[in-house]
Structure formats: structure tokens, C-alpha cells
């Protein structure tokens, strides 16, 4: 099975007030941490950015793909990444760039739990599914995302439902994301307290 990774960074970061992908976390941009974790476990990496968005320096090799239109949300970003990987991968792990505690081991675990006949496997914490920390079969997910976007449905939940995603209970710590300055500060405290 050919695997690959997609990291979405095209959000506006309005609640944070600064681009999340460039936030310093442990001496490197947040994007660098997430990109390394995904690439180590999943293979070739595609980073999906907004049109004209600047990216921080990242040592992990990756391909940059741009959203066709700005402001259509993560489903459109996922569609752009899936399109770029359609002929090169069967399965992808998709992540947002704001999960500082994501590890390659977690990415491998999520990918490994995707059964032969399943189209999507999504971790769940406290009853909440995490579509931006999930494994997808490339072609079915691409077809479903295309249909949803054509119908102006931009919800990742709609994609999960259409793919009959299998949810599984997961450790919440690696799936912690930082959307606000308060969450970022709390994550930094956790990093320096526990490593």
C-alpha cells in the first residue's frame, strides 16, 4: 500500500492572530514539527497552503500545493492535497498544522487501523471526531470531496459521513490543537513541563 501525508496550513488563523504554521514551538516552526511526524510515518508529504501564503522554513522535504480559492475551508484544502497525490498514493494521513504533540507513532497507528474495506478511519476523543488527524483512501475521498464541494457543502463531517468513516477512541494528547493564544501558551507549558 502506497501511503503519503497531507498537512493543511491554509486557514486564516483569526483566533490566533498570527499564522499558526509559523509559531515557534520548541525552537522550530509548528509546521516543521507536524511535517516531520507525518513524513516519517506516511511517506511523501504535500503541504496545502492558501494562495500567496508564506511558509516558514522547514527541513523536511515536501511539495506545496495551493488552494484553488481562498476561504473555502479545510475540505477544499484536503481536495487539493488529494488531487496532487491521486496517482502516487492509495492512502493518506491528513493533519492540520496546529497539532504540536502529533508524533510519527500516532500517524502510523492511525494508518495501520484502516481496514482493507474501509475508506476512512478517524480518531475520536470525548465523542469528537478528528477529521484532520485521520487516514483516508485517496480515490474514494477525492470523489466524495469533489461531490461535496460541487454542491457547496464544505463540512468535513459531511465527508466523514459520506465515506462511512470508522471512528476509534484515541489518546487526546497528541491530537491537541492550538487555535488561540491561550491554547498555544498552555501547549508550550506542557512541552516544557513534560518534554
pLDDT given for residue 16 in this prediction: 87
User: How many whole angstroms separate alpha carbon 195 and alpha carbon 189?
Assistant: 9
Cβ proximity of 110 and 133 under 8 Å: yes
Which residues fall within 8 angstroms of residue 72, CB to CB, at 6 or more apart?
149, 154
User: How many whole angstroms separate alpha carbon 132 and alpha carbon 194?
Assistant: 25
Q: Measure CA of the first residue to CA of the last residue in the chain; give whole Å.
A: 33
Q: Which CATH superfamily is domain 3-194 in?
A: Spore Coat Polysaccharide Biosynthesis Protein SpsA; Chain A (3.90.550.10)
pLDDT given for residue 85 in this prediction: 97
pTM score: 0.94
Query: What is the DSSP code (8-state) at residue 73?
Result: H
CB count within 10 Å of CB 190 equals 14
pLDDT given for residue 195 in this prediction: 54
| Cα dihedral value 179, 185, 191, 193, nearest 10 | -150
Cβ proximity of 30 and 99 under 8 Å: no
Cβ proximity of 76 and 67 under 8 Å: yes
For the record, the C-alpha cell of 163 comes out as: 465515506
pLDDT given for residue 194 in this prediction: 65
Q: Which residues of the chain fall below pLDDT 50?
A: none
**Domain spans of the chain, in order of start:** 3-194
Cβ proximity of 21 and 8 under 8 Å: no
For the record, the C-alpha cell of 35 comes out as: 511535517
Amino acid at each position: 500500500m502506497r501511503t503519503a501525508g497531507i498537512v493543511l496550513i491554509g486557514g486564516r488563523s483569526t483566533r490566533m492572530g498570527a499564522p499558526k504554521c509559523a509559531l515557534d514551538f520548541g525552537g522550530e516552526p509548528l509546521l516543521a514539527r507536524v511535517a516531520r511526524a507525518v513524513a516519517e510515518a506516511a511517506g511523501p508529504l504535500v503541504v496545502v497552503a492558501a494562495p500567496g501564503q508564506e511558509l516558514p522554513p522547514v527541513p523536511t522535504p515536501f511539495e506545496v500545493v495551493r488552494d484553488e480559492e481562498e476561504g473555502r475551508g479545510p475540505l477544499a484544502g484536503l481536495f487539493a492535497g488529494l488531487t496532487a497525490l491521486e496517482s502516487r498514493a492509495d492512502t493518506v494521513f491528513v493533519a492540520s498544522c496546529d497539532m504540536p504533540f502529533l508524533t510519527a507513532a500516532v500517524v502510523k497507528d492511525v494508518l495501520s487501523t484502516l481496514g482493507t474495506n474501509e475508506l476512512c478511519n478517524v480518531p475520536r476523543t470525548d465523542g469528537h471526531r478528528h477529521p484532520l488527524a485521520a487516514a483516508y483512501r485517496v480515490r474514494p475521498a477525492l470523489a466524495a470531496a469533489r461531490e461535496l464541494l460541487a454542491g457547496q457543502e464544505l463540512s468535513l463531517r459531511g465527508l466523514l459521513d459520506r465515506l462511512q468513516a470508522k471512528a476509534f477512541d484515541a489518546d487526546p494528547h497528541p491530537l491537541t490543537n492550538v487555535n488561540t493564544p491561550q491554547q498555544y501558551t498552555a501547549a508550550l507549558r506542557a512541552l516544557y513541563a513534560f518534554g
